[in-house]
Amino acid sequence: MSKVWFVTGSARGLGRSLTEAVLAAGDKVAAAARNTQQLQSLLKQYPDQLLTVALDVNNQQQINEAVTATIARFGRIDVLVNNAGFGIIGAAEAFTEEQVRSQLETNLYAPIAITRAVLPYMREQRSGRILQISSIGGRVGFAALSIYHAAKFGLSGFAESLAKEVAPLGIFVTSIEPGGFRTDWAGASMTYAQQVEGYETTVDARKAFMESGKFVPVGDPEKAAKAMIELVKAPQQPLHLVLGSEAIGILKQNNTNRDAEIAQWEKVSLSTDHSEAEPFLTSVEGRQYLK
């Protein structure tokens, strides 16, 4: 039986590649985008499989209407893909209040709101797949991307907690964590804070590299789309799926560094336990907490 997908940010980039691949595979898609005119060629090609819905992901009324329209057209939502988002570069102190809010609202609050709108239907179905498109920047932080990382770390954490919460309902959740892919994330979608003195070797260096044209991502969005389609066919889903050799390399190095830091400071960490406390991992509370 064909699946019904709800994909945000479907008009371009990874969302567009995924929408095209899902339709070609014979599934149905509610393609959500701010500008649905960019989806007209697909609508002509797949009139019975595709529903286009206008969606500003920061507008709760539009979220509700888009979900309701999808249920009215297709009767269910089997796969939710929260893909809409954008990047922003700058020193933490240099971002405007509007830039901070816009980043958090689009990359964190919106996926949470859309997930919450879809969950009642998946709960009633006792089935569903949710793919939160986070980033390797949801696991590892770099200079100049502090607000972006704040949103993506939050989204990855939300996905990990939610996965454990909804597993008994037959709903699987995965945080998709790509490295650089050949979309316009570092191009037309990227925004910048005003330059501030003192960050020449960190923030300014990264901004210059991004604007130089020398950043050529290794990831192929069409291959990422194929991987996600295969993922939702699998009997189980991982909590995290890292995409691309760049992301794998970054994560492995970060894990090595983090393990070394834990070992170096473990004595200090353990010294803060109450004198009457049982070691956490062997305690009843610890075993219950980690379930």
Q: Determine contact, residues 131/231, Cβ cutoff 8 Å.
A: yes
**17 in active site:** no
Q: Determine contact, residues 133/176, Cβ cutoff 8 Å.
A: yes
Active-site option among 148, 175, 199, 207:
148
- AA letter at 119: L
CA 168/CA 77 separation, integer angstroms: 18
Active-site option among 10, 46, 121, 152:
152
Q: Determine contact, residues 155/138, Cβ cutoff 8 Å.
A: yes
H helices within 52-202, ranges in order? 60-74, 97-104, 110-125, 146-166
**152 in active site:** yes
Q: Determine contact, residues 225/21, Cβ cutoff 8 Å.
A: yes
Residues β-bridged to residue 234: none
* DSSP one-letter string for 52-85: EEE--TT-HHHHHHHHHHHHHHHS---EEEE---
Active-site option among 10, 17, 134, 175:
134
What three-state secondary structure class fits 107? Answer: helix
Q: Which of 52, 48, 72, 46 is nearest to 9 (CA)?
A: 52
Q: Determine contact, residues 64/114, Cβ cutoff 8 Å.
A: no
**148 in active site:** yes
Handedness of CA 250, 256, 257, 259 (dihedral sign): positive
Residues taking part in catalysis: 134, 148, 152
